[in-house]
Amino acid sequence: MNGLLLALAALVVQDPEVLAIRGETVHTAAGEPIQNGVVVCSGGKIVAVGPAGSITIPGGATVLEAAVVTPGLVDAHSVVGLAGWLNQNHDQDQIERSGPLQPELRAIDAYNPREELVAWLRSFGVTTVHTGHAPGAVITGQTLIAKTRGDTVEQSVFVPFAMVAATIGVGATGDEKPAPGTRAKAVAILRQELVRASEYRAKLEGDEPPDRDLRLEALATVLAGERPLLVTAHRAHDIAAALRVRAEFDLRMVLDGGAEAYLMLDELRAAGVPVIVHATMARARAERRNLSMETPHLLQEAGIPVALQSGYESYVPKTRVVLFEAAIAARYGCSFDDALRLVTIDAARILGVDRRVGSLEVGKDADLGLYDGDPFEYTTHCVGVVIEGEAVSAEVR
């Protein structure tokens, strides 16, 4: 291969009419890898993908080349954009500690698309991120889904209200919070607020609607099935408590973290609850002390939808990288294709955005990662990133 045939000047061309990407291997996450493949992008969308011999690249198109091409990676849960890289109070907006229940907090009101960690994730091929309020209280707020480019919320965010973030377990009961003090109290507070939201929702459908309540309004959308409750829980008995709440209120639920999810395979499968597994780089202590590197593989084998995340930790590192997390999954039981799906199409499906992102298919957003070797190898570099048909990065690190 002749290498990456692109000068830096070409990378800053805005909205090229046609962009073509050639790869020695193109992983589409929608079928078998394509050897000597081509992806053609126009108008921000993929218009053709297949073997080079079957696709004619229009004259005048900008052409990129790489050893390996993948769909843009999807980080299924993060706090980037709310938790700044400096780890100083002025840019730490991921948790509001004044109360245990704050579903009304909108992630888009705190999200900073210019945050340097957003660009850092993009440099590894991450093009879509599900981010927002972090675990750390019974309900911390809302999440959003954004592309890792753009200088304003309007330019980057395409799902402004994705999920409501909740916590069951030690994360909801620490000493820094005014309440609760025990697991039972935390679940009782959550259950009571869902009861109040159910009553509020019933009144909204009546002849005399109630005064507007932003807190109950947010939870009413969860009860209506419009968006999931994202529950961070690690211990098996905390996961069981979350599943009881799900069944009681007939909620759509996504389990976040799940350090002991491998002990709850039958229950998770029966409940139809997908899992966004904790970052393996997270410290294996406290409620994560029984984590297993094989959890993604075990969940896949059990037929449970699963994805990977960069996660959250209150100190450092401020974010991890899902490319590394997928490489670990490939080391501990997953095939290459299965590991790649954990950070592409499977993540997109759990987030409900698979019609736009997660695989290289005609009609989807032209989001791609370009690599100079096996993307799961430590020595490989991400040599280019394309988001909606625009080459936005080509930094060789």
230-283 pLDDT tens trace:
999 999 999 999 999 999 999 999 999 999 999 999 999 999 999 999 999 888
Is residue 175 very low, low, confident or very high in pLDDT (cuts 50, 70, 90)? low
Q: Is residue 222 packed enough to be buried (19+ CB in 10 Å), middle (13-18) or exposed (0-12)?
A: buried
Distance CA 88, CA 316 (A): 12
How many alpha carbons lie under 13 Å from residue 316 in its C-beta half-sphere?
4
For residue 148, give the nearest of 126, 166, 130 by alpha carbon.
126
Distance CA 110, CA 91 (A): 9
Structure letter (DSSP) for residue 282: S
* Amino acid sitting at position 30: A
Q: Where are the domains of the chain?
A: 8-72+359-393, 73-351
For residue 272, give the nearest of 187, 349, 172, 183 by alpha carbon.
349
Say if residue 393's pLDDT is above 60.
yes
Which CATH topology does 8-72+359-393 take?
Urease, subunit C; domain 1 (2.30.40)
Q: What per-residue confidence (pLDDT) applies to 326?
A: 98
Q: What per-residue confidence (pLDDT) applies to 394?
A: 57
Q: Is residue 105 packed enough to be buried (19+ CB in 10 Å), middle (13-18) or exposed (0-12)?
A: buried
**Quick one: average pLDDT of 182-188?**
95
Can you give the length of the chain in residues? 397
Q: Tens digit of pLDDT for each residue in 46-102?
A: 999 999 999 999 989 999 999 999 999 999 999 999 998 888 888 889 999 889 999
pTM of the model: 0.93
DSSP helix/strand/coil, 231: strand
* More confident position, 88 or 40: 40
Q: What is the rounded end-to-end Cα distance, in angstroms, of the chain?
A: 20
Q: What per-residue confidence (pLDDT) applies to 176?
A: 60
Percent of the chain with pLDDT over 90: 83
For residue 49, give the nearest of 17, 75, 19, 78 by alpha carbon.
19
Q: Which superfamily does 73-351 belong to?
A: Metal-dependent hydrolases (3.20.20.140)
For residue 23, give the nearest of 33, 34, 37 by alpha carbon.
37
Distance CA 177, CA 7 (A): 53
For residue 242, give the nearest of 269, 271, 265 by alpha carbon.
271
Distance CA 165, CA 276 (A): 13
CA distances for 173 relative to 187, 245, 283, angstroms? 10, 18, 19
